[in-house]
Structures are given as C-alpha cells and as structure tokens.
Amino acid sequence: MALRHSAHVLTKVGAGQALPAALADLFDRHTLSPASRGAIQDITYRSMRRWGCAHALMAVLASKPPSPARLSALVACALALLSDDTPPYAEHTLVDQAVEACAQDPELSRAKGMVNAVLRRFLRERDQLMQSVLRDDDARLNYPRWWIDEMRRAWPQQAEAILIAGNGEPPLTLRVNRRKIEVEAYLDQLAGEGIAATRIGDYAVKLKRAVPVAQIPGFADGVVSVQDAAAQLAAPLLQVQHGMRVLDACAAPGGKTGHLLELANCDVLALDHDARRLNRVSDNLKRLSLHAMLQVGDARLSDWWDGQPYDRILADLPCTASGIVRRHPDIRWLRRPVDSRQLAERSAEILDNLWGMLRPGGLLLIVTCSLWPEESELQAQTFVQRQHAVRLEAPGQLLPRADEASDHDGLFYALLQKPAL
C-alpha cells in the first residue's frame, strides 16, 4: 500500500504540485496510521533524491515510456528505491509491492507482467546497468541538466560538493528559546532522556537522530523550535532591542518571527500574502507564548502599511530555494530555468517598497535560501547601488554544509543600513 500511495503522490509532483502539498492532500483523503504516513513520506522523499537515476534506468529497461503517468511514477519509484545504497525494504518486498500496486488499479493491472519483468531484470543486471547510467551526470547527480549547468556556472569549484550535499538527508536542528532555558541546560535535558545531540550555533542544537516532533522535550511548551542552523542567524543579525517596531516581511511559517520575539520585546508585524500560511505563524507564536500582529498583504505594495516607519525590517525574499534542496528534494524537478530571473525581479520590487518603510538609520536584512547569484549577491549589490544603502557586515552566501561542527542549508544574508537624514 505504501508504494502505491507514494506513486500517486509522485504523479502529482510530476504534474507540478509541491511534494509537501501532495502528501497533505493524500493524508487528508485517506485514514492512515502514523507508521503508514511515515513510510509514504520516506519513500517519496527518497525517490525525489534519486529521480534522475530512476528515469535513466527506466529508459534503458522499458522498451517505451510506461503510460499512464501513475504507472511511470510507480516504476520510477520502485527503481529509485531498489538502486538506493540503503533501500528501506527488502528487494523482493519492493518488487511484490509494485506488482500488487498494479493489481489494485484496474487501469494498470495489464502492466503487472511488464513491471515485474523490468524490476527483476534490474536486480539481475544491477551492476552493469548502474555503471552504464551513472556515466551521465543527470543520473549520477540526480538533478535536471540545466540545474547542474547553473550550479557549475555559479560555483565552479564547489558545484560537485554542493550538488552531492543536496542529496543528503537533512538533520533535525532545534532553536533553543533562551528566554526559557540555556543551551547547555537543554543539552543536559536531552542527554537525560537518552537523546544524543550537539551544539552547532549560539542557539542551535542538532539531534544525532531525528525523532517525531511530539517526542522532542519541551517542544510543546515553546522551549525549542525546529529551525535550520543557517536560518537561526537572521534574527540576531538585526540587533533588535526592546520597544522597536519590526517588520517581518514574507513571514510564514514564522520561525524567524518567533526568534525575533525571543530576543527582545518588540512590536512585530508579521506580513505574508497567504492567509493560510499566516495561520502557521499564529500557531507557532501560540506555542511560544509570544505575540505579533499578523497582516495579510503583498510586500510589493503599501496598502497594508500604517505609515509609521520601522526600526528593523526582515526581508525573507521569494526565491527558487536552490539552497534547501536536501529538505525539499522536489524543488529541483519543479523549477524552470526562467524562475530565477522572474523571482529576482519580484524581489527587487519588494525591496524598493520596504526601503521606503524603514526609518533613517534603521536596518534591513535581505535573506534568501538560494544559491543563484541573481537572487542573492547580485540582488544585494544592485539594490545598494540603486538606493545608496550602506552594507554592513553579514555572512553573505552560506554554502550547504554537513559536518559535525556546522550543519546547515545554503542561505544568503545581506545587512543594509538606511543613511541618516
């Protein structure tokens, strides 16, 4: 059942739906046990990380592309798992599940024999087939060709390492709320409950093994929040102080909003264009026992603004999210080459609009989760020139890292000050 449901989700992704949304739709329609939900999520994320290899294998093993789309997704999903170095199920179980998935679908039942033959041939000829398809970078690295080319253009020396890092599983990183507990004290609490963890930042704690959120000590009480270590740099960079007016633009899901309020008693407005996404900000703040004003609005416009300038503005800009593909492996398959330019143009409009809301001497922090210079460094450079902003010290482009001392996504930061009158 897990493989059949996973193939259905991957068909939706193939049609353009984001993987988290496709999973949410499936879980809304079907009553599934927590174990089944976990298995489906694991299978779909694993498959997305090996989608290039799976399709290369399918092109060799099948005389013609499997049709309809859900049959293609089923075969590709099975091949992705079978070709994995650490498959989640025994080989015979995967083959049996794929064949059974066909049997349970009247339109696909005729393809049982083909699916069985393709998968068993792969198992017989695995070494030869893998050696053949992995000569192609699309299959070896598991990204679209244009993405690989773009990464090599942007980061010629680091491209291979970045692409490989994007295929790893991300850690579960927590942000410790130091209003409630110190980091070392929280590490002691985790150790007391048998949960191994290490400190990787001022507020960041990385669990050695991920656990369900409900099992994280103190999570329900707002002692900690789930947030990548690189994302935890945003709020401290703004140097917020008690009583400041702060705008968190493009705020959902609210991780940075919560961190700002943990650092100081600020008057925070959390803005987002999507009312449903603002609900997540509200939920996070309730869990933290913190308060911010929530506003639905487009950051490119001023119709929501009360006309009073802000002391600090956090501009978490829309981008292709090329720096967080290990957390969202479907992004690489959903994005198009033109997206970077279009999103950069939209972000420039946002920045110009927000700059007019910042008081003289105030700080604006540009944040993106992109590795493409057009969306990050070049965006910051052209904005500074256009608005005569003063650029202060900030990390700039962080490349993805995954080691014991520093494990984080690929985010970009530029801190700008508006000249005093």
Are 183 and 203 contacting, i.e. CB atoms less than 8 angstroms apart?
A: yes
Judge if 162 and 183 occupy the same domain: no
Q: Which position has the token pair 């994320």?
A: 45
pLDDT at 256: 97
Does 217 lie in the same domain as 179? yes
CA angle 95, 100, 106 (to 5 degrees): 135
Last residue of a domain, one of 227, 244, 260: 227
pLDDT at 106: 86
CA angle 90, 8, 283 (to 5 degrees): 100
Indicate whether 320 and 408 sit together in one domain: yes
Q: Do 240 and 158 belong to one domain?
A: yes
- Full domain range(s) for residue 258: 143-170+230-421
Domain stop point among 183, 206, 227:
227
Q: For residue 122, give Cα distances in angstroms to 10, 91, 111, 117.
A: 21, 11, 17, 9
Whether residue 51 sits in one domain with residue 166: no
Closest by CA position to 352, among listed 308, 389, 378: 389
| Whether residues 27 and 60 fall in one domain | yes
Count of domains observed in the chain: 3
Can you give the pLDDT at residue 1? Answer: 76
CATH number, domain of 16, equals: 1.10.940.10
How far apart (Å, rounded) are the C-alpha atoms in residues 219 and 189? 13
Residue type, 287: R
Helix H or strand E segment including 294? strand 293-296
Q: Are 238 and 259 in contact (CB under 8 A)?
A: no
220 and 236 share one domain: no
Q: What is the CATH number of the domain that holds 188?
A: 3.30.70.1170
Amino acid letter at 298? D
| pLDDT in the model for residue 87 | 80
Residues 162 and 307 in one domain: yes
Residues 367, 244 share a domain:
yes
Whether residue 327 sits in one domain with residue 198: no
Residues 155 and 132 in one domain: no
Exposed e or buried b per residue across 72-107, where buried means at least 16 C-beta atoms within 10 angstroms of its C-beta: bbbbbbbbbbbbeeeeebeeeebbebbbebbeebee
CATH number at residue 158: 3.40.50.150
199 with 308, same domain: the answer is no
pLDDT, position 405: 72
pLDDT per residue rounded down to tens, the chain (421 residues): 789 999 999 999 999 999 999 999 999 999 999 899 999 999 999 999 999 999 999 999 998 889 999 999 999 999 999 999 888 788 989 999 999 999 998 888 899 999 999 999 999 999 999 999 999 999 999 999 999 999 999 999 999 999 999 999 999 999 999 999 999 999 999 999 999 999 999 999 999 999 999 999 999 999 999 999 999 999 999 999 999 999 999 999 999 999 999 999 999 999 999 999 999 999 999 999 999 999 999 999 999 999 999 999 999 999 999 999 999 999 999 999 999 999 999 999 999 999 999 999 999 999 999 999 999 999 999 999 999 999 999 999 999 988 777 799 999 999 999 998 7
Q: Is 369 a catalytic residue?
A: yes
User: Alpha-carbon distance 144 to 137, whole Å?
Assistant: 9
List the catalytic residue out of 53, 102, 250, 369: 369
